[in-house]
Amino acid sequence: MKKYSIIAIIMLLCSCESDEMEQTIFVPDSTDSSLPAYTEWGYNSFGALYERNYFLATNDIVPCKITYKNGIMTFTLSGRVKSSGNMTLYFSFPISERMKDYSDLLVLHQKEIDLTNSTCEVRILNGSKTENITLLSANLFFKRAQLLRINDREDRVILSGTFDLSFLRNQLPEAMTKGRFDVGIATLFILPD
């Protein structure tokens, strides 16, 4: 009987550890407590100052997904803007390395991308409506990519970095500044050619 109890406890602890890795953990920034602090711990968090509001990760929306197709990677951040509801930000850029699974994301370590390059694209989905924007400036910096191991098994890649963009939306200038992300990626979605 004790043997089964120990196995049940171990299984419960392992499942709790896995569930915790999926949650968004908000650690306030020391200079702007409405933004998450820049961390490299896989907190599944991101945030940016969007005009006078904040675009932030939440626990009820998967904060980040990454897709790959034909040499193009799309890094997606989904969350909420306090005043207007759900929003998704898409960063698409070419990558020369062939992607097969999440561990290949380590090639993003220290990669800085000027998204105004004609081979890149930035899109905003506000609620269910795609916003037409014209980029003025946009940078995405993967400051750190690290492989997380749990119990000596590869579990996910943690991507941490920053982003900033300015653009015209409906012919009016807008900006997203002080952007930072710290996300754990356990699945890379490979789209068919």
- Please write the tens of the pLDDT for every residue from 117-157: 999 999 999 988 998 899 999 999 999 999 999 999 999 99
Number of domains in the chain: 1
At residue 175 the predicted structure's pLDDT band, cuts being 50, 70 and 90, is: very high
Distance CA 127, CA 130 (A): 8
pTM of the model: 0.88
User: What three-state secondary structure class fits 60?
Assistant: coil
The predicted model gives 65-94 an average pLDDT of 95
Domain of 6, in residue numbers: 2-190
Question: Which range has the worst mean pLDDT, 16-20, 66-70, 152-156?
Answer: 16-20
